[in-house]
Amino acid sequence: MSKKYTLAVVPETHWDREWYLTFEEFRIRLVRLTDKLLSILDADPEFKSFTFDGQTIVIEDYLEIRPQERERIRKHVQSGRLLIGPWYVLPDEFLVSGEALIRNLMLGHKIGEEFGRTMKSGYIPDPFGHISQLPQILAGFGISNVYFTRGLGDEADSMHSEFWWQTPDGTKVLAINQVNSYCNGVNIGVEYLPNKGKTVNFETALQQVKQQIESLSKKASTKYLLLNNGCDHVEPQPELPQIIKYLNEHLDDTEVIHSTYEEYADLVLKEKPTLKTYCGELHSGKYHPLLPGVFSTRIYLKQANERTQTLLEKWTEPACAFAWLNGATYDSQLIWQAWKYLIKCHPHDSICGCSIDQVHREMMPRFQQAQQIGETLAFESLQYLANKVDTTTKSIDKDTQAVVVFNPHAWEVTDTVTVRVEKELSPGEMAPSYVVKDETGKAVATHVTNDYILEISRRRAKWSADVHFTGENIPSLGYKTYYLQHGEATVDSPLEVGLGYLENDFLKVNVRSNGTFDLFHKQTRTTYHNLNLLEDTEDCGDEYNYGWAYNSRTVTSEGIGGTLSIIERGPGIGVLRCDFVMYLPESLTADRMSRAEKTVACPVIVYVKVHAGLPRVDIITVFENNARDHRLRAHFPTGFPADYCYAEGQFAVVQRPLDLPSGEGWVEKPVGQKPVQSYVAVDGTDCGIAVINQGLPEYEVIKGEQCVIAQTLLRCCGWLSRDDFQARPYNAGPTIPTPEAQCLGKHVFRYAVLPYQGNWKRSMVWQQAHQHNAPPRAVLTGIHKGELPHSLAFVRVSPSNLVVTAVKKAEKCDGLVVRVLNTTSDNVDATVTLCRKFKGAVLTNLNEEPLETKLVVNGNSVRFPMPAFRLQTIMFKF
């Protein structure tokens, strides 16, 4: 007779690679754990399987120390007894890009294949919430389920612990909530007795399991219940087969089985339960804390991560791929090495900034190594392409150089282009002046900055400078050739620059010496007042959560006197500089109840920049942080009320309500601070405003008669975890001082404000956001014949609501991979056009495995349907 419940016990460990100890300190424990695990698997056939936390990096880390055990591991992976993957590391999903998540899973599968098998369960137990597009990403790797702990809110009250999780494009996977955490069966029956040490009490195990059955059965949709036999850094229990046998002998209504996550999901589905469907992100803290302060902890990590991701996604991979299409070698192994360095920084204890200081010191070289590889490969590939361009033209002189300008975006770009020039000067020779011309010989807006002379010897000197010019209509994912010549030219420019104001065809900006400005948007005739006001408040929290003091005190830049000067006056860009000082409380008081009376000077420089041909205002804020225990934000009043904001996420634009849930009875109360990729927008009736950020992933929209977008710039605290503040009066980790999380010293923040007509979708806000973070790059080359024309789009896509998120060489064949995202809620037919003929084209999944979907091929183009927020990958074969 079948029993009422079946309890599936999955032995596992959750492996934080670095956290309250360094990587190497944890690796010692990893090596000992894995040695023990392999001995158990070798010696006991009744110990059926062990899951290594959904990661493969642990195998790499182990084999660096024990390379002789490779075949032993391979044997157990192939037999299904040791389950690894599908991830390379378990990432924080909100703080990394969508493409980084895909590369993470690609690496996990790549390594899994090397050992014979990749676990096909979306196991991601501990990250601090989950993005709305995770089901589509997992499904793109043939993974039909996801296991998670954190993220549910009030919606969980009406759902089972199993439900369908659906993405905006309609993709859905089976979601399994680890209701009692991923540690609900850790060390079953283990007791620590005086003078006896660690023992296993089978009766204690029985009572623990009974409690879990009673609790889990209240939420389960079927007779199958899940017990996770493991937790953080916990070794396998060799007694597990005997414990399971004892439980089966003593439980009347429950059968206990030794299982895996793959098997458990299959068992649930075989019961054909009636499940509810949930759509959207999982970012609520009713049952488990989300720790949202990590979005702004150690902001320098987030900035380094954004720089590296943008480099690899927008420049290194596409440039290497286009160079390969034109005869160069594509070094996939080097590119993957750069990705590995980067993704090793993506675990939730790493990129979140919630570890000890030494852990985060060791992260920065990894970012730098990824950048070194990425920059070298991108430069070589762009130079290779530039040298293949036919740069000959009629209007040249002997000193003319060609400038090939590359555009990394899937639309024609008009933007400011910068190229570095150098020239040796003879004694007494003046520094040269330059003008840039297009192919027709027409001069474009040009000016020179940052020039300096380096004296090499008494007879020679080297002059260097940045030449800026306006590049117009640079083709989609392609290039356009300009010409750099000695001389000067008067160019009509829409840009006006004066002391205190900047103006172009789109907007007029009135700037004050405290770095704030008023912005008049000409298209909607709307004025936005007092933008970029700096607000500083105490932070009595820790690396996990921002905390306000009982006696809170806020300091702003309102009314601060400073100096205002003109730095650049065009014709392509205008820049005003504001210098002032904020006097901030030096720290919290000793009792952490308020801010200290003593203040310290924090010098601030704000650069406000307007481009001749762009509808946004760029801001660079340089902040010298000499204070502790505080949070610095820039405020952007919208001038109108709103109920929602729209934040770019990973392959989605997330509509978030400004009214927060009450949070009654929640483990962690909801807060207004939310994650964002490159922009957040607020729509008014017929106008709107967006704040664009570069590596500043936390914002809040403060609701009121007029909404205020608050962009977090810096958050400074001194503890890994504390349990004595209002926002979270319990520990989320060990109480360890982290003085470097105070982020003392100089910081440079880059962000922008974009007013627009209509709504964010109609105004295609993403285009200016992505251009801000990845402006065009220029390569100097000579005047020469070449196989490529003066300008060219390597890849074009239509319609305009499509974004290309990846261009790379295929992993397993001589093909070009182009990934396209429908960034809006409109269903469309997509067209992707290459600059050259191809033999065939197929849609693939995210792991670049061909699908059966038919493509309509017409010449150099393919056409296929693109549902709202769908991500699709095309592989062109040559």
Q: Indicate whether 138 pLDDT > 80.
A: yes
Give per-residue pLDDT as tens, 475-494.
999 999 999 998 888 888 89
Q: Indicate whether 429 pLDDT > 80.
A: no
Residue 1 has what pLDDT?
62
Give residues with Cβ within 8 angstroms of 322, minimum separation 6. 381, 385, 794, 807
How far apart CA 683 and CA 756 sit, in angstroms, is: 9
- In this prediction, residues 385-410 reach a mean pLDDT of 91
Q: What is the pTM of this model?
A: 0.97
Give per-residue pLDDT as tens, 65-120.
999 999 999 999 999 999 999 999 999 999 999 999 999 999 999 999 999 999 99
Residue 163 has what pLDDT?
98
Residue 480 has what pLDDT?
98
3 state DSSP class of 138: helix
The pLDDT confidence band at residue 445, using thresholds 50, 70 and 90, is confident
Q: What is the DSSP string of 836-870?
A: S--SEEEEE-TTS-B-----EEETTEEEEEE-TT-
- In this prediction, residues 51-55 reach a mean pLDDT of 96
Q: Indicate whether 388 pLDDT > 70.
A: yes
The pLDDT confidence band at residue 456, using thresholds 50, 70 and 90, is low
Q: Three-class SS string for 3-62? A: CCEEEEEEEECECCCCCCCCHHHHHHHHHHHHHHHHHHHHHCCCCCCEECCCCCHHHHHH
Give per-residue pLDDT as tens, 835-852.
999 999 999 999 999 998
- In this prediction, residues 634-646 reach a mean pLDDT of 97
Q: Which of 226-230, 390-394, 442-446, 853-857 has the highest mean predicted lDDT (pLDDT)?
A: 226-230
Contact call for residues 463 and 396 (beta carbons, < 8 A): no
Percentage of the residues of the chain whose pLDDT score is greater than 90: 91
The pLDDT confidence band at residue 458, using thresholds 50, 70 and 90, is low
Amino acid at 416: T
Give per-residue pLDDT as tens, 332-378.
999 999 999 999 999 999 999 999 999 999 999 999 999 999 999 99
Outline where DSSP puts E strands in 548-669.
554-556, 563-569, 573-585, 599-611, 617-625, 630-637, 644-649, 652-657
Residue 2 has what pLDDT?
81
Q: Indicate whether 694 pLDDT > 70.
A: yes
Give residues with Cβ within 8 angstroms of 790, minimum separation 6. 389, 390, 391, 393, 439, 480, 481
Could you count the other beta carbons within 10 Å of the beta carbon of residue 279?
Answer: 13
The pLDDT confidence band at residue 427, using thresholds 50, 70 and 90, is confident
Exposed / middle / buried, residue 84 (Cβ in 10 Å: 0-12, 13-18, 19+): buried
Q: Indicate whether 453 pLDDT > 80.
A: no
- In this prediction, residues 197-206 reach a mean pLDDT of 92
Tokens at residue 760, please? 């964010």
Exposed / middle / buried, residue 70 (Cβ in 10 Å: 0-12, 13-18, 19+): middle
The pLDDT confidence band at residue 433, using thresholds 50, 70 and 90, is confident
Give per-residue pLDDT as tens, 306-316.
999 999 999 99
Which of 421, 484, 488, 419 is closest to 452 using CA atoms? 421
Tokens at residue 331, please? 């070094």
Give per-residue pLDDT as tens, 783-814.
999 999 999 999 999 999 999 999 999 999 99
Give per-residue pLDDT as tens, 246-291.
999 999 999 999 999 999 999 999 999 999 999 999 999 999 999 9
How far apart CA 733 and CA 58 sit, in angstroms, is: 22
Residue 464 has what pLDDT?
87
